[in-house]
């Protein structure tokens, strides 16, 4: 018999949840034996190998009830926090409604609704949406659509960029560390330094570049663009017939204090890529949003309507999670809250920087904040 102080644990007839709860102490051992032992080793070295029992809001909880404030959130995957009750309620209701799942040969109204609500928050004309399961898949889709729409082979990205680790997006990634051992990669991909307009124009001048793919704020080191860079890069792309792609997988949906980071610079890209936070912290979902004329050039004929698909891209639970996320962000004023919290955190961090010389630099926008550390200065003896 349970008492008022003993919460009733969820159960299922197949015992899946019960087994997971009973085997929680085996989490790292299971991961080491059947998943990625090297990552388990790294987590141990960093002291991050805690077996968490539950998560709620911004906190993870271990078996002893200790709470850990989660500053990572999967690079923004859990921007609403863990196990948000509003998203969970929508997912339960979606299952209970028995809606058509909307994959492959069917559509669910949820997919059209989510596409509409995304488009309404983006610059005019970005109203054609392709749903995928991951940000890398959204990047890959933009690569394909840009080539098909322009008839051009080449793609340009930036040094130090990150766009995903599947083979196509990996060909754009600006750090060779991720590429070692996986070549040869996709031909026709080149990089330029982030912020260097002269190098970008030199690449575009040849007239064979389908798209320039750029993160408005580079996620790996939270690197902000130089003043005027992104708008000028967009204009260069227009001049040379190259499509301008804003990879907002990490920066989108309020993280930088605007719905999309592109708003900080008044950008009007040809593609916007969305992922991570669109999940509500629950379901894999990402989106490529582009202009209708680009979409139609790539796949918009009867013969080609099925040449680019994603099996689970528009499944009902992912679409429902995406809609719930957008509506919670709107209802709770979380975009403005992220902008406000930037001031609170950066002011506090600046005060710490004045006291501790190991803090080299603080940079970011909204709640996308990077703290660069350096070796502490030591006074020479004598």
Q: Which of 316, 329, 313 is nearest to 277 (CA)?
A: 329
- The first and second tokens of residue 310, run together, are 């994603």
Is 162 a known active-site residue? yes
Rounded distance between C-alpha atoms, residue 358 and residue 379, angstroms: 14
Is 130 a known active-site residue? no
Choosing from 77, 144, 247, 260, which is the catalytic residue? Answer: 247
Choosing from 77, 130, 145, 162, which is the catalytic residue? Answer: 162
Is 276 a known active-site residue? yes
Choosing from 77, 140, 244, 276, which is the catalytic residue? Answer: 276
Taking a C-beta distance cutoff of 8 angstroms, is the pair 254, 277 a contact? yes
Q: How far is CA 2 from CA 5, 6, 16, 316, 364, in A?
A: 8, 6, 21, 36, 48
Are β-strands 154-158 and 189-192 bridged in parallel, bridged antiparallel, or unpaired? parallel
Rounded distance between C-alpha atoms, residue 119 and residue 128, angstroms: 8
List residues with catalytic annotation: 162, 247, 276
């Amino acid at each position: 018999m349970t008492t008022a102080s003993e919460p009733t644990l969820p159960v299922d007839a197949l015992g899946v949840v019960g087994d997971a709860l009973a085997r929680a102490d085996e989490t790292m051992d299971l991961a080491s034996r059947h998943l990625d032992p090297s990552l388990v080793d790294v987590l141990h070295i960093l002291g991050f190998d805690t077996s968490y029992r539950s998560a709620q809001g911004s906190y993870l909880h271990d078996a002893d009830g200790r709470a850990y404030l989660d500053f990572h959130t999967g690079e923004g995957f859990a921007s609403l926090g863990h196990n948000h009750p509003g998203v969970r309620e929508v997912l339960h209701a979606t299952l209970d409604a028995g809606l058509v799942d909307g994959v492959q040969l069917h559509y669910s109204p949820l997919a059209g609704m989510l596409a509409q609500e995304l488009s309404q928050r983006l610059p005019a004309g970005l109203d054609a949406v392709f749903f995928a399961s991951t940000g890398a898949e959204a990047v890959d889709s933009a690569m394909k659509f840009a080539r098909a729409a322009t008839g051009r082979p080449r793609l340009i990205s930036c040094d130090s960029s990150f766009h995903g680790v599947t083979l196509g997006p990996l060909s754009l990634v600006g750090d060779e560390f991720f590429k070692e051992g996986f070549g040869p990669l996709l031909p026709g991909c080149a990089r330029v330094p982030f912020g260097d307009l002269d190098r970008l124009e030199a690449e575009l001048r040849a007239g064979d570049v389908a798209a320039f793919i750029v993160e408005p704020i580079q996620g790996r080191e939270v690197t902000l663009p130089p003043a005027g860079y992104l708008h000028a890069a967009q204009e260069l792309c227009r001049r040379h017939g190259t499509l301008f792609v804003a990879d907002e997988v990490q920066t989108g949906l309020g993280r930088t204090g605007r719905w999309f980071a592109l708003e900080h610079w008044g950008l009007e890209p040809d593609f916007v890529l969305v992922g991570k936070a669109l999940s509500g912290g629950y379901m894999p979902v990402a989106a490529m949003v582009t202009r209708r004329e680009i979409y139609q050039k790539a796949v918009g004929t009867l013969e080609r309507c099925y040449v680019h698909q994603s099996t689970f891209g528009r499944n009902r639970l992912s679409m429902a999670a995406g809609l719930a996320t957008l509506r919670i962000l709107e209802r709770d004023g979380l975009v403005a809250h992220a902008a406000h919290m930037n001031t609170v955190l950066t002011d506090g961090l600046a005060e710490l920087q004045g006291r501790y010389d190991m803090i080299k630099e603080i940079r970011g926008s909204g709640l996308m904040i990077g703290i660069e550390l350096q070796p502490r200065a030591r006074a020479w003896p004598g």
